[in-house]
């Protein structure tokens, strides 16, 4: 039997730490050096599939979290407080008012199990990577108690709810708060599928539905939007580069805005973002003049399927005009509803001619790609944190990679006829330690994109449906509109780090930032 000692494993860890501290082989031979240079600029665009901007005839934009970037955690805190207060007004215990939003806990892409009240991080196949019950992290036998196979049927949408959007972050945290409160409260008996108080049973499914109803209430009544508009400086980032980007795009292509928000909210937000005072670097003009077409109330993802009736908006009153609009495109006019097919007809473009920019992996990217063949640009603001961790903790990623190599070397001279059984427990323990340390760097439930060396469901969807992605749509300013975003060659059968390309004259476009460790 082959027995690598703990000293050998520890030696590997120390070796890579010293190499990094000494700025020797690691940062020079691997791609972390280029990543750090690119990170300082903060303007990288990542590439999954090659895309030539010169072939794009039309650029489409979502509004919320794409053009209108909300300040974090201020905006999520507002959403959480409104959601929490709504539950209390519905009859939930007043003690819930003691919970405050913690931005280090929730992340996009978690799955809520409405049967057991657990928050799950899974991979694309449904294998469970992280499981929390309230704020308790379940491990080993605890997870087996709920999921003996450590696997879920994520297509069971009646039971499992995917929290894929940035709007879901307050909701995600509130699920954990409710489970935490009722579990710790002496008034309630903790059951597998809910909580019991005297003759009353409150299932996890019922609390899930109450939170969903509260979310719908906030959006239907406009409570969240109203509070946002009262203090735009606090909740919305105003960037003078935005009108510059839209103006430059409009010189070479058509531009449209397609948002689920209503006209009055869209009008207020876009005025704030684009109507700069006279005397500023941006010449004053109406926000609608930056777009060839503006569509509100799109009801995505339905917008990418059958859609709804296309109607004109009376911009003076904000009311919809009676009847279905069947005419040609009128510049300066705002439309409501419609579909992606109608947008193509009005702008006289085909699906392959459109680059659509949005933040919603399902509503914006997946549906526009699968149903219409649009080119897609996913906005992932969380990449800022991901990139910082990658650069600052490069030694941990390198150590994990070399532990994998060391593991492979133990089996190098063995085949199906070999009787030897290498003892890999020390390596496995070290891999677990490094993986745990990596996850802690991102937040309480780990990275948006990975759990150790395993891609999350969100990461898999990002790689599959987004042609390009970045921290902000404003990063397009750093590329000419003839630019070729070329995806690096990836051999599926090999496990190797993605090659990062760096151009000294302009920010790098980078191949997928999720390497195979």
* Measured CA distances, 242 to 40, 127, 231, 281 (Å): 21, 40, 20, 12
Dist. CA 54–CA 51, nearest whole Å: 9
* Catalytic annotation, pick one of 62, 297, 439, 467: 62
Dist. CA 333–CA 72, nearest whole Å: 33
The residues near 84 (Cβ < 8 Å, ≥ 6 apart) are 96, 97, 99, 174, 177
Tokens of 437: 């340390």
Tokens of 470: 């970045």
- The answer to whether 292 is annotated as binding is no
Handedness of CA 443, 444, 446, 448 (dihedral sign): negative
Is 467 catalytic? The answer is no
Tell me how many degrees the CA angle 114-115-118 measures, rounded to the nearest 5: 65
Dist. CA 475–CA 240, nearest whole Å: 13
- The answer to whether 359 is annotated as binding is yes
Tokens 């006279």 belong to 278
Tokens of 338: 């419609």
Instruction: Assign 359 to helix, strand or coil.
Output: coil
204-221 vs 169-184: helix crossing angle, rounded to 10: 140
Beta strands in 297-447 (DSSP E): 311-313, 334-336, 354-358, 375-379
Is 62 catalytic? The answer is yes
Length of the chain (residues): 517
- The answer to whether 348 is annotated as binding is no
Instruction: Assign 333 to helix, strand or coil.
Output: coil
Tokens of 484: 């070729």
Residues in a beta bridge with 450: 455
The residues near 225 (Cβ < 8 Å, ≥ 6 apart) are 219, 261, 265
Tokens of 16: 């890579």
* Catalytic annotation, pick one of 64, 297, 353, 439: 64
203 close to 194: Cβ distance less than 8 angstroms: yes
Handedness of CA 343, 57, 62, 302 (dihedral sign): positive
> In terms of Cα–Cα distance, which of 5, 8, 30, 2 is closest to 396?
30
Neighbour count for residue 157 (Cβ, 10 Å): 9
Known binding-site residues for Mg(2+) equal: 62, 359
Known binding-site residues for GMP equal: 64
Known binding-site residues equal: 62, 64, 359
Q: Could you list the active site residues?
A: 62, 64
């Amino acid at each position: 039997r082959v027995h690598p000692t703990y000293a050998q494993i520890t030696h590997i860890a120390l070796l890579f730490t010293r190499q990094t501290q000494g700025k020797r082989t690691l940062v020079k031979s691997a791609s972390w050096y280029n990543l750090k240079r690119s990170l300082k600029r903060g303007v990288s665009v990542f590439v999954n599939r090659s895309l030539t901007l010169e072939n794009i005839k039309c650029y489409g934009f979502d509004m919320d979290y794409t053009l209108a970037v909300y300040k974090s955690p201020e905006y999520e805190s507002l959403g959480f407080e409104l959601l929490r207060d709504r539950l209390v007004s519905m009859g939930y215990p007043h003690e819930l008012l003691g919970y405050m939003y913690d931005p280090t806990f929730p992340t996009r892409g978690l799955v809520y199990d409405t049967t057991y009240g657990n928050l799950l991080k899974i991979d694309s196949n449904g294998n469970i990577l992280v499981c929390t019950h309230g704020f308790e992290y379940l491990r080993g036998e605890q997870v087996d108690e709920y999921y003996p196979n450590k696997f879920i049927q994520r297509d069971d949408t009646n039971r499992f709810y995917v929290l894929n959007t940035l709007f879901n972050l307050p909701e995600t945290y509130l699920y954990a708060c409710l489970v935490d409160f009722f579990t710790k409260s002496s008034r309630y008996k903790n059951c597998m599928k809910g909580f019991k108080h005297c003759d009353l049973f409150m299932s996890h499914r019922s609390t899930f539905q109450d939170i969903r109803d509260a979310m719908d209430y906030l959006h239907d009544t406009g409570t969240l939007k109203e509070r946002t508009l009262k203090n735009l400086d606090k909740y919305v980032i105003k960037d003078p580069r935005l009108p510059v980007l839209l103006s430059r795009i409009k010189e070479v292509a058509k531009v449209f805005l397609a948002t689920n928000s209503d006209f009055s909210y869209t009008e207020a937000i876009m005025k704030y973002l684009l109507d700069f005072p006279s005397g500023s670097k941006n010449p004053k003009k109406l926000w609608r003049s930056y777009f060839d077409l503006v569509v509100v109330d799109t009801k995505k993802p339905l917008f990418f399927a059958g859609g709804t009736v296309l109607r004109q908006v009376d911009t003076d009153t904000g009311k919809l005009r009676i009847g279905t609009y069947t005419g040609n495109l009128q510049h300066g006019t705002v439309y409501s509803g419609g579909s992606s097919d109608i947008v193509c007809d009005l702008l006289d473009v085909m699906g392959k001619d459109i680059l659509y920019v949005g933040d919603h992996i399902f509503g914006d990217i997946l549906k526009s790609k699968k149903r219409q063949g649009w080119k897609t640009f996913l906005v992932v603001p969380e990449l800022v944190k991901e990139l910082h961790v990658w650069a600052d903790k490069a030694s941990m990623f390198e150590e994990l990679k070399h532990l994998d190599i060391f593991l492979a070397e133990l089996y190098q001279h063995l085949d199906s006829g070999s009787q030897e059984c290498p003892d890999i427990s020390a390596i496995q323990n070290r891999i677990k330690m490094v993986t745990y340390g990596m996850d802690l760097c991102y937040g309480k439930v780990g990275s948006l994109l990975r759990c150790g060396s395993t891609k999350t469901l969100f990461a898999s969807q990002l790689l599959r449906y987004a042609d390009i992605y970045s921290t902000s749509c404003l990063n397009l300013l750093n590329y000419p509109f003839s630019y070729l975003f070329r995806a690096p060659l990836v051999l599926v059968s090999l496990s190797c780090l993605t090659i990062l390309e760096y151009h000294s004259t302009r920010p790098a476009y980078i191949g997928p930032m999720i390497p195979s460790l």
